[in-house]
């Protein structure tokens, strides 16, 4: 069971989280920017395609991405939260900033997706007094530099233990486990070998007792394996989503909602879990 703001999910099948970017377009050479209006339209399209949750982000966290000020981030995401408030799906805010979390919760966000796992001062407290779900993600380093030299003794054990510690911190701050989700953070301070090891061993995160979310959609690890440019990675992303679900993932964060949904319908028919 997952308590997610206005929604409660039984998790009898995996949920699809559709990505709604309000950031410079990572698919172009930097000139294009997704406006709030375009983001709202994209969100409504993803709902039509079958998204259960929309993940709204105003700060890119892909490797090498630039930092965004609090003011700029709020100006990007708040109109999108408001514009999608009646879309009929749960709304997640993808942010690392305590101030943005607070403003988004006040605007009705059902979930906070924090790639920094509520480690910023005040973030745990900001979530304590709400019904919102929280995604706690593992990363090594920060997006600006995290791919320079990812280093682990045992990546699976280190990610597991970090997430266990963040679950404990969240619970100590008064966030009940029914509101928590964990994420190994594919591509966040991890080389190809680390990412593959995490996907191979994804099921070890299940003993932490909270649902596992994965974000693999169109990521460079897929491009490296299959030699694909970013716009060519849809099919590889579907394969990765299917593998993740077979290894226990309960929320799949994707760009391509319809394709993922269709693939998981087949998994469900055969394996009865999707
Ligand atoms: C993710 C995630 C996220 N990913 C959660 N939130 C991004 N919970 C943003 C690449 O290697 O996995 N989980 N929010 C996007 N970040 C990346 C990282 C995008 C790496 C691309 C890459 O290509």
Q: Would you name the residues annotated as active-site residues? A: 219, 253
**What is the rounded distance in angstroms from the CA atom of residue 228 to the CA atom of residue 256?**
16
Distance 235 CA to ligand 1 centre (A): 18
pLDDT reported for residue 273: 63
pTM over cut 0.85:
yes
Average pLDDT of the chain? 96
For residue 142, the 8-state DSSP code is: -
Do 79 and 94 contact (CB within 8 A), yes or no? Answer: no
Residue nearest to atom 12 of ligand 1 (CA): 215
Does the pLDDT value for residue 30 go beyond 60? no
Does the pLDDT value for residue 29 go beyond 60? no
Distance 232 CA to ligand 1 centre (A): 17
| Tens-place pLDDT, residues 220-237 | 999 999 999 999 999 999
Check pocket membership of 135 for ligand 1, CB cut-off 6 A.
yes
Check pocket membership of 137 for ligand 1, CB cut-off 6 A.
yes
Does the pLDDT value for residue 26 go beyond 70? no
Q: How many C-beta neighbours within 10 Å does residue 12 have?
A: 11
pLDDT reported for residue 32: 72
Do 38 and 65 contact (CB within 8 A), yes or no? Answer: no
| Tens-place pLDDT, residues 149-181 | 999 999 999 999 999 999 999 999 999 999 999
| Tens-place pLDDT, residues 31-65 | 577 899 999 999 999 999 999 999 999 999 999 99
Q: Domains in the chain, ordered, with CATH?
A: 2-271 (3.20.20.20)
Query: To test the ligand 1 pocket, which listed residue (93, 214, 215) has its Cβ within 8 A of the most ligand atoms?
Result: 215
Sequence-ordered list of residues with C-beta below 8 angstroms from that of 116, at least 6 positions apart, any chain: 96, 123, 137, 139
Q: Which of 8-17, 92-101, 145-154, 174-183 has the lowest mean pLDDT?
A: 145-154
pLDDT reported for residue 274: 59
* Whole-number Cα distances in Å, 131 to 36, 75, 123, 176, 220: 26, 24, 15, 9, 34
pLDDT reported for residue 137: 98
Query: To test the ligand 1 pocket, which listed residue (187, 244, 255) has its Cβ within 8 A of the most ligand atoms?
Result: 187
Check pocket membership of 124 for ligand 1, CB cut-off 6 A.
no
Mind giving me the DSSP string for 47-61?
HHHT-SEEEEESS--
**What is the rounded distance in angstroms from the CA atom of residue 91 to the CA atom of residue 110?**
5
Does the pLDDT value for residue 107 go beyond 90? yes
Check pocket membership of 211 for ligand 1, CB cut-off 6 A.
no
Region 105-121: what's the mean pLDDT? 98
Does the pLDDT value for residue 13 go beyond 90? yes
Do 75 and 50 contact (CB within 8 A), yes or no? Answer: no
| Tens-place pLDDT, residues 188-217 | 999 999 999 999 999 999 999 999 999 999
Residue nearest to atom 18 of ligand 1 (CA): 62
Higher pLDDT pick, 26 / 162: 162
Distance 171 CA to ligand 1 centre (A): 25
């Amino acid at each position: 069971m997952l308590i997610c703001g206005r929604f409660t999910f039984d998790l009898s099948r995996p949920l699809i989280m559709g990505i709604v970017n309000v950031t410079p377009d990572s698919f172009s050479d930097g000139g294009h920017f997704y406006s709030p209006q375009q983001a709202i339209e994209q969100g409504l399209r993803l709902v039509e395609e079958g998204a259960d949750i929309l993940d709204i982000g105003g700060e890119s966290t892909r490797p090498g991405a630039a930092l965004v000020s609090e003011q700029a981030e709020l100006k990007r995401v708040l109109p999108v939260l408001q514009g999608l408030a009646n879309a009929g799906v749960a709304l997640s805010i993808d942010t690392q900033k305590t101030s943005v979390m607070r403003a988004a919760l006040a605007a009705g966000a059902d979930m906070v997706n924090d790639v920094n796992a509520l480690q910023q001062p005040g973030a745990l407290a900001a979530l304590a007094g709400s019904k919102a779900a929280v995604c706690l993600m593992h990363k090594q380093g920060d997006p600006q530099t995290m791919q320079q030299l990812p280093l682990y003794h045992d990546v699976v054990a280190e990610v597991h233990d970090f997430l266990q510690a963040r679950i404990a911190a969240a619970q100590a701050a008064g966030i009940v486990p029914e509101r928590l989700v964990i994420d190994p953070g594919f591509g966040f301070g991890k080389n190809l070998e680390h990412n593959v090891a995490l996907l191979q061993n994804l099921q070890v995160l299940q003993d932490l007792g909270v649902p596992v979310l994965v974000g693999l959609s169109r990521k460079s690890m897929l491009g490296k394996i299959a030699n694909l440019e970013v716009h060519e990675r849809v099919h590889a992303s579907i394969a990765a989503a299917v593998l993740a679900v077979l290894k226990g993932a309960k929320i799949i964060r994707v760009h391509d909602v319809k394709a993922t949904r269709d693939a998981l319908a087949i998994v469900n028919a055969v394996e009865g879990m999707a």
